Amino acid sequence: MESVQSVERMRVVVTGGSGLVGKAIEHVVKEEGGAKEGEEWIFLSSKDADLMDFRATQALFQRLQPTHVIHLAAMVGGLFRNMRLNLDFWRCNIYINDNVLQAAHHVGVQKVVSCLSTCIFPDNTTYPITEKMIHNGPPHDSNFGYSYAKRMIDVNNRAYFQQFGHRYTAVIPTNVFGPHDNFSIEDGHVLPGLIHKTYLAKEEGSPLTVWGSGNPRRQFIYSLDLARLFLWVLREYDEVEPIILSVGEEDEVSIKDAAEAVTEALDFRGDIVYDTSKADGQFKKTASNAKLCSYLPDVTFTPFKTAVKETCDWFVSNYDFARK
């Protein structure tokens, strides 16, 4: 008899497929040839269903019958939005995450990869942060609603494994940025906010005002680098315990460094002013990528300045359509 090599069929549903990370995964899958034979990819937005509603979530999953899920959908925002809306961040994310995991369980999804964040770790901690430390103490006060809701994904994953043997897991990225980000100055994350502010300051010929002292330190990961790692986690990473997806500790930069990378990329030559009346947030949350490197010793990342330049170029070219 002729031997027929079987191709594993995978129907991958990506919740939050219209956001920063979802668009990067879509790019890698569709433009970089990231999809493998036998894989079908479906990218969802909130227009497909409000995932805060369990019935709608369940109906969507029953219709789509995914075998695999990348779960990105979330209420997401920067420091100042978190400080204003801790209750909304808690409720929205706790419902979305519980609904998605329960609906995935109901339709027999083999694997779910959800998304945590390094900003959910204990505020009072030793560095570098590792995957083992998620539940070791209270998060920073500024974003406790988001943090506790995200931590419960890990509780869910462990419990689904214990009761049903499901290999549902999560990744833990550091600060993500790239094309399709939310460039809102009030509500977005620090880097896209800086890009938007610098763009406006250049247009108006005014100084660039950076909120806070510029001293806090962050590890930034380019959304396209993160997207490629997501595909690896989906296909190869077999643990229930989450994995930090980050550049190395030595690649951490200050907000001042980030502002300078943005001004260089946008060729802004005016003054930079630091408004210290505005909150700094957590001083640092340095994460270890040792676990990632133990799996992928040759992992590489786009140089920070190159990624910032590409993001700035995207923002300028798409100014009229960008979220801001």
Ligand X SMILES: NC(=O)c1ccc[n+]([C@@H]2O[C@H](COP(=O)([O-])OP(=O)(O)OC[C@H]3O[C@@H](n4cnc5c(N)ncnc54)[C@H](OP(=O)(O)O)[C@@H]3O)[C@@H](O)[C@H]2O)c1
Q: Please report how close the Cβ of residue 43 comes to ligand X at its closest, in angstroms.
A: 9
Pick 117 or 156: Cβ nearer ligand X: 117
Q: Does the footprint of ligand X cover residue 117 (CB under 6 A)?
A: yes
Pick 202 or 249: Cβ nearer ligand X: 249
Q: Which amino acid is at 236?
A: E
Q: Does the footprint of ligand X cover residue 120 (CB under 6 A)?
A: no
Q: Does the footprint of ligand X cover residue 66 (CB under 6 A)?
A: no
> Could you say which of 46, 58, 254, 302 contacts ligand X (CB under 6 A)?
46
Residue 155: how many other CB atoms lie within 10 Å? 12
Q: Identify whether the C-beta of residue 172 lies closer than 8 Å to the C-beta of residue 237.
A: no
Q: Does the footprint of ligand X cover residue 242 (CB under 6 A)?
A: no
Beta carbons within 8 Å of 234's beta carbon, 6+ residues apart: 12, 68, 70, 111, 113
Pick 178 or 214: Cβ nearer ligand X: 178
| Rg value, the chain, Cα | 20
The site that binds ligand X (CB under 6 A) totals a number of residues, namely: 26
> Could you say which of 12, 29, 51, 229 contacts ligand X (CB under 6 A)?
51
> Could you say which of 12, 13, 21, 104 contacts ligand X (CB under 6 A)?
21
Number of H helices, E strands in the chain: 10, 12
Active site residue 146: yes
- What is the C-alpha to C-alpha distance for residues 100 and 88, in angstroms, rounded to an integer? 18
> Could you say which of 173, 179, 212, 214 contacts ligand X (CB under 6 A)?
173
> Could you say which of 10, 12, 13, 20 contacts ligand X (CB under 6 A)?
20
The per-residue DSSP string of 152-166 comes to HHHHHHHHHHHHH--
- What is the C-alpha to C-alpha distance for residues 162 and 146, in angstroms, rounded to an integer? 25
Q: Give me the active site residues, please.
A: 146
